[in-house]
Amino acid sequence: WNVFDLVLVSLMVLETWFLYFLLDDTGAISSLSVLRLLRLLRLSKVFRLVPELAIMVKALFQAMMSVGSTLVLIVGLMYVFSIIFTGWAKEGGVERLTAERPGGMTFDELFGNLGRSFLTLLQVLVFDDTFSIIRDALEEAPQIALLLILF
């Protein structure tokens, strides 16, 4: 490891002191700054000295994978519900869907296209003004309110 550290420090000194005076082109210097990333490899020594840290890092990566798969599942579920709500908002069978809400937003503005439906469902998912949306939906179209509650 001492030889590795010596090479890294030598490259850093070469880049910082000598190349700065020899080369006036900053593009050549910035391309050599990638070599600074090699200094991060020195952290691998810590994993050899403290094996519990390596176990913790492995556990964090496994947890990130499970959280990532949960995120994909939630986004897929929101996408399906967004398609349903957008279809109902565009459908002519529910005439009162575009009735004016007290807050100034119409249901067409909430569920008018896929992006708006996705955003409204995200708002429902994090409980931001969820119950006012559900109450207004219950007054206008109970089937939409039931689907929102189910979501």
10-residue mean pLDDT profile of the chain (151 residues): values are 75 69 58 62 76 88 94 94 87 51 66 88 88 81 84 84
Report pLDDT for 129.
Answer: 81
CA-to-CA separations, 1 to 33, 37, 48, 49, 77, in angstroms, rounded: 22, 17, 12, 13, 50
Question: Hey, is 92 helix, strand or coil?
Answer: coil
- Cβ atoms 141, 96 nearer than 8 A: yes
Structure tokens at 86: 């957008």
Report pLDDT for 24.
Answer: 57
On whether the pTM is more than 0.85, the answer is: no
Structure tokens at 3: 């030889």
- Cβ atoms 122, 100 nearer than 8 A: no
Report pLDDT for 93.
Answer: 43
Report pLDDT for 28.
Answer: 54
Taking Cα atoms as reference points, which of 77, 80, 88 lies closest to residue 110? Answer: 88
- In one-letter notation, the amino acid at residue 50 is V
- Cβ atoms 58, 124 nearer than 8 A: no
- Cβ atoms 89, 97 nearer than 8 A: yes
The C-alpha atoms of residue 9 and residue 55 are separated, in whole angstroms, by 30
Proportion of the chain in helix, strand, coil states, percent, rounded to 5: 85, 0, 15
Structure tokens at 7: 């090479």
Report pLDDT for 92.
Answer: 54
